[in-house]
Amino acid sequence: MEWWSNIDSVQRLTFLPHILMGQILSFFILFALIIQKRVVSNWFMILLIILGNITGLVFPPSLITINTVILFYILINYSGLLLKAVKSFILTAPQSTKDLTTNLKNQSSIINHQSLGVNHQSLGVNHQSLIINHSNIRRNLYNIPIHVIQKILFIILSSPSLIYFLITTKFLPWSSLVEFHRTHPMMIPFWDYILGTGPIFFLGLIGGVLAIFRRNRKLYPMVLWIVITLLFSIIFTHIKEQSPLRFTQTGLFIPLGILGAYFFESLFLIANKTNVNNILSKTINHQSSIINHLPSLFLSFFLLIYILFNLFMMSISIKWQTTFMTQRIGANIPDVPYPPQTMYPLKTWMAGIRWLRDNTKSNDVIIAKVTAGNFIPAYSGNTVFWGQSNTVNYNEKELLVDKFFEGKMTVDEAERFLKNGRVNYVFESFQEREKSLSKPMSFFYPFLTESYKNPDVVIYRVKG
């Protein structure tokens, strides 16, 4: 996936549904928790926590980004209250402990030798000196708004989805996902990316600066969203633990669009204020009144052109995507795409995959070349020996698959190879025949039994 796929709104809608879902949920959560700046009901809070965990499962970078935004928002706006509450707890508890120690030393046990009884009064502890000054702690805690506590709870209780991924990706086969991103990071040419977003990037930045200058705290989350997204992208450009591209997929266009709209709103307010002042001064005639309205008219015209231009670009995007697909449908070469791309597959080719769906078990392993290896898990539900780029030991398996389909293995080697890979079926079609020079797999490996055949696909059963 290239970086420009995330900028085009049409492409996001058509074949990036998980990313789009993460972006929608991110904005909804930020709007509910921060922008509205109010206490939410307990049931709604539970819903937000559930949605947060869903976001983390669907697209983890989105949850990482919004949790960081919420955390920084709390630190910027309420760090004083939080520090005061923590400080009161830390300083008050040791003082009470000190009082307890002093009291026990000074009021040692006095045994009444006449009665050999214990003078309970002398052992009595001055409870007033032992009681921790909870009132200060409570008072400082109560000063923290409930909606801030809800934000902190959201960060904590939405984290299990991220912890789940952290634990899962420590073990095979899921660890290969992390390893693939380490060895094949999806980088961002930042300047090209910025230019690719169009004017909205610069309009959004100006709107962000204006929001900070005018102390519009409602828009601080949008400013933080931009800053943290770019910060994560820069960090992971140098730390190869995750592809920096992933963090630009968290919906950067959302805060940019909102801040860009805020910038235009501010300009309109300034222009309208100027018009009102001129009217009140009663120093203008009819001609100068028209002139004074020119800023508002110019802004309206510019905004209209800007919106029409964006709609035009969306229509161009739809046109080139449909043209691309139409050309691929009408083309004779290749029969299946390489590398695997979203396109309409051949009916006979898909018929073979559907046969696997209807006649094999989901845990049956299929061996095929790269395109079938990507389509089979999605459409038949089977496991493949090799396919997606996140496959464990991708490069080593690619060499073995090529050697197998080229017929360069002996019969004994092929049997051991398929047995060790727990392969149950061999899928033979266009790409596979390119390797075998159109010779059937049964020509090289007689132990394969033909289970399905149509003009373009043969599926073999592995004996044993």
**Residues above pLDDT 70, as percent of the chain:** 75
* 31-45, 145-159, 291-305, 416-430 — most confident range: 416-430
Rama region for 282: left / alpha / beta (φ>0; ψ in -120 to 50; rest): left
pTM: 0.74
> What is the structure's pLDDT at 340?
58
Number of Cβ within 10 Å of residue 10's Cβ equals 16
**Residue from 372, 409, 378 nearest 386 by CA:** 372
Residue 334 scores a pLDDT above 80: no
| Distance between CA atoms of residues 312 and 354, nearest Å | 40
Higher pLDDT, 110 or 431: 431
Instruction: Count how many residues are written for the chain.
Output: 464
Higher pLDDT, 147 or 348: 348
Residue 420 scores a pLDDT above 90: yes
DSSP 178-223: HHHHHHS-----HHHHHHHTTHHHHHHHHHHHHHHHTT-GGGHHHH
Domain spans of the chain, in order of start: 1-168, 270-330, 347-462
Q: What b-and-e string marks burial along 312-325, b requiring 16 or more CB atoms within 10 Å of the CB?
A: eeeeebeeebeeee
Pull the structure tokens for residue 184.
């094949």
Of the listed ranges 229-238, 266-275, 422-431, the least confidently predicted one is 266-275
Cα dihedral across residues 32, 38, 39, 41: positive or negative: negative
Q: What is the pLDDT of residues 62-83, one digit of tens each?
A: 999 999 999 999 888 877 666 6
Domain 347-462 classification at class level:
alpha beta
The secondary element (H helix, E strand) that includes residue 424 is strand 423-428
Confidence of residue 100 (pLDDT cuts 50, 70, 90): very low
Mode of pairing for the β-strands spanning 423-428 and 458-462: antiparallel
Higher pLDDT, 372 or 140: 372
Cα distances (Å, whole numbers) of residue 206 to 81, 264, 267, 273, 369:
31, 10, 11, 20, 50
> What is the structure's pLDDT at 1?
54
For residues 134-148, give the mean pLDDT.
61
Compute the mean pLDDT over every residue in the chain, rounded to the nearest whole number.
Answer: 80
